[in-house]
Amino acid sequence: MAERFDVIVIGAGFGGLHLIWKMRSMGRSVVALEKGGDVGGTWYWNRYPGARCDVPSLEYSVPWDKELEQEWDWSERYSAQPEILSYIEEIARRHDLKRDIRFDTTVTAMARDNARKLWVVETEGKAVFEAPVVISAAGCLSTPNLPDIPGIETFARPIHHTGLWPHEPVSFEDKRVGVIGTGSTGVQASTAIAAEAGHLFVFQRTAQYSLPALNRSLTSEELAEAKADYATIRNHQRNSFGAAIIEPPKAMKAFDDNKEARFAEYERRWNIGRQDLLAAYADIGTDEQVNAEVSEFVREKIRGIVKDAETAERLCPSANPLGTRRIIMDTGYFEIFNQDNVSLVDIREDPIARIAETGVKLESGRYVELDMLVVATGYDAVTGPLLDMNITGREGVELAEKWKNGPETYLGLMMHGFPNLFTVTGPQSPTVHANVIMGIEQHVDWIGDCLAMMEREGIEEIEPEHQSELEWAKVVEAIGSANLRAKDTNNWYTGGNIPGKPRSFMTYQGGLDRYRAICDEIATNSYRGFQLSPAKASVEA
């Protein structure tokens, strides 16, 4: 016997919690289905040592609970995972959100029942849920990518993917630990593990750009200043490209500035401890020559930190321009390579041949014996969590089939053939290019307004025209192609990190501010590009 609700939400991270609160405030009955054992989403799963947000805490907080804004005291400029998880717990506690969440509940299939105009959601070995509306807040980075390295299943000692980290403490003391992967996660984990391990081996396939986060404790003055005027912070976030407080670029092309002034600007921004360097001049993201100069500036910084010249050179990124991949914010990463207990293993030069019971064998024949392996190989990002749910739309259309060449959506919010299925921070929306909590807010508000309109007008179903998806794809493509990111497709922004995944622009790169204006304009103009059923005119007649 299925349980029936007005709205089913998928996920109980920042997005799911905001949605429960919103749907309740609209008088809707709601249930959230969560794979994990508790609230937190990304911050529930990613408990690896060193896990930390790369957005400043004063900005990475919910804008919809004004009391919590005043009461919560962030301890650090960039909070660590345990503090963020406590914060999420506190949100759930204050609003009694857990009563509407089913934990340990993995969605295995979801299908539209055309006759009853309902989504029927099946869960692993458990209950079936039904609702006219489903809103997915399953996250963008929640399907771990387990690498297909020969022999990995034979490793007979502890092995942990960072996105599936154990809840019990993991000790590295006196152990030979290997970390595979040097994205944000591998960099954070390696930095923390290096402080404890007997010996750490960092297996690096591609050297990455990383900027210093300059993390530190927040002072009581800084907290008081933010709390005194949170409205200004939120206003700035809502009206900016990435919902981030960052210095605007100098108002000129980089090469119109003289060399001394340019390098002074790079240096000043390097020392801010945010992502400001990437925005020193607007053409860093579009002009190869300008980008090459800033990329070299970062490489020089690495050479200045790492004492062994050969190791430094191996750590210097050259495979892609600066900023085409998610920039890493580190807390002393390059410095660990000056420690005697840390070795860099360059698996671009000497690839992994196979993993054996007690270590990693390289193609040269070198064998690195390990007591523990940490797999920091990222995620099947953005589309993975949606495809994992085996979604079948109207008339038996499968999402996997519809997306076989890459995601097709309208505004990254809905798909043709999938009525009343909304995606929060979904593919072809700004997703990870903006502070995700603020991106969630924009989507939750838009979806809330849409559902209110439907109730008001007697509309039962909404879905985009296929033509609207084709036109939105052109917008996403045009903006994506104008950026140097288009030259670097071997990463999770385009699906290039997963063997066999179709490559496409999975994100809208035009900024949250511009995106918000587009979504609002379409809603104001009678939800242009959407089919409403029954048609609005006939309802009014």
Q: Which is nearer to ligand NA7, 188 or 392 (CB)?
A: 188
Q: Of these, 51, 62, 131, 376, which contacts ligand NA7 (CB under 6 A)?
A: 376
Q: Report the nearest approach of ligand NA7 to the CB of residue 402 (Å).
A: 25
DSSP state of 210: E
Q: Which residue has the tokens 């309208």?
A: 410
- In Å, how far from its chain's centre is CA 378? 11
* Segment interacting with ligand NA7, rule: CB under 6 A, options 68-76, 374-382, 470-478, 532-540: 374-382
Q: Report the nearest approach of ligand NA7 to the CB of residue 189 (Å).
A: 9
DSSP state of 383: T
Q: How far apart are CA 462 and CA 80, in angstroms?
A: 40
Q: Which positions from 385 to 424 touch ligand NA7 by CB under 6 A, shown as an x/- string?
A: ----------------------------------------
Q: Of these, 106, 108, 206, 483, which contacts ligand NA7 (CB under 6 A)?
A: 206
DSSP state of 191: H
Q: Of these, 15, 139, 378, 448, which contacts ligand NA7 (CB under 6 A)?
A: 378
Q: Is residue 497 close enough to count as binding ligand NA7 by CB under 6 A?
A: yes
- Mapped onto helix, strand or coil, the DSSP state of residue 140 is coil
Other CB atoms within 10 A of residue 124 CB? 11
Q: Report the nearest approach of ligand NA7 to the CB of residue 148 (Å).
A: 7
State phi, psi for 31 to the nearest 5 degrees.
-135, 140
Closest C-alpha to 515, from 418, 425, 430, 404: 430
Which residue type occupies 151?
G
DSSP state of 204: E
Q: How many residues touch ligand NA7 (CB under 6 A)?
A: 20
Q: Report the nearest approach of ligand NA7 to the CB of residue 84 (Å).
A: 13
Other CB atoms within 10 A of residue 54 CB? 17
Q: Report the nearest approach of ligand NA7 to the CB of residue 241 (Å).
A: 17
* Segment interacting with ligand NA7, rule: CB under 6 A, options 87-95, 218-226, 364-372, 377-385: 377-385
Q: Report the nearest approach of ligand NA7 to the CB of residue 237 (Å).
A: 18
Q: Report the nearest approach of ligand NA7 to the CB of residue 208 (Å).
A: 7
Q: Using CB under 6 A, which residues numbered 126 to 165 contact ligand NA7?
A: 141, 147, 149
Closest C-alpha to 427, from 481, 379, 493: 493
Q: How far apart are CA 246 and CA 237, in angstroms?
A: 10
Structure tokens at 424: 């929060």
Q: Of these, 24, 95, 205, 236, which contacts ligand NA7 (CB under 6 A)?
A: 205
Residue 10 forms beta bridges with which residues?
33, 136
Q: Which is nearer to ligand NA7, 53 or 280 (CB)?
A: 53
Q: Report the nearest approach of ligand NA7 to the CB of residue 461 (Å).
A: 35
Q: Which residue has the tokens 């969605």?
A: 107
Three-state SS sequence of 210-249 = EEECCCCECCHHHHHHHHHCHHHHHHHHHCCCCCCCCCCC
Q: Report the nearest approach of ligand NA7 to the CB of residue 490 (Å).
A: 6
Strands of 174-301 (E only): list them: 176-180, 199-204, 210-212
Q: Which positions from 170 to 189 touch ligand NA7 by CB under 6 A, shown as an x/- string?
A: ----------xxxxxxx---
Cβ–Cβ under 8 Å, residues 237 and 245? yes
Q: How far apart are CA 517 and CA 241, in angstroms?
A: 12
Q: Which positions from 293 to 332 touch ligand NA7 by CB under 6 A, shown as an x/- string?
A: ---------------------------------x------
Q: Of these, 333, 492, 505, 530, which contacts ligand NA7 (CB under 6 A)?
A: 492
Q: Which is nearer to ligand NA7, 48 or 446 (CB)?
A: 48
Q: Report the nearest approach of ligand NA7 to the CB of residue 414 (Å).
A: 25
Q: Of these, 377, 420, 425, 429, which contacts ligand NA7 (CB under 6 A)?
A: 377
Q: Is the bond into 534 cis (omega within 30 degrees of 0)?
A: yes
Q: How far apart are CA 189 and CA 179, in angstroms?
A: 8
Sign of the dihedral through C-alpha 386, 389, 390, 396: negative
* Segment interacting with ligand NA7, rule: CB under 6 A, options 29-37, 89-97, 376-384, 435-443: 376-384
Q: Which residues bind ligand NA7 (CB under 6 A)?
A: 141, 147, 149, 180-186, 205-206, 326, 376-379, 432, 492, 497
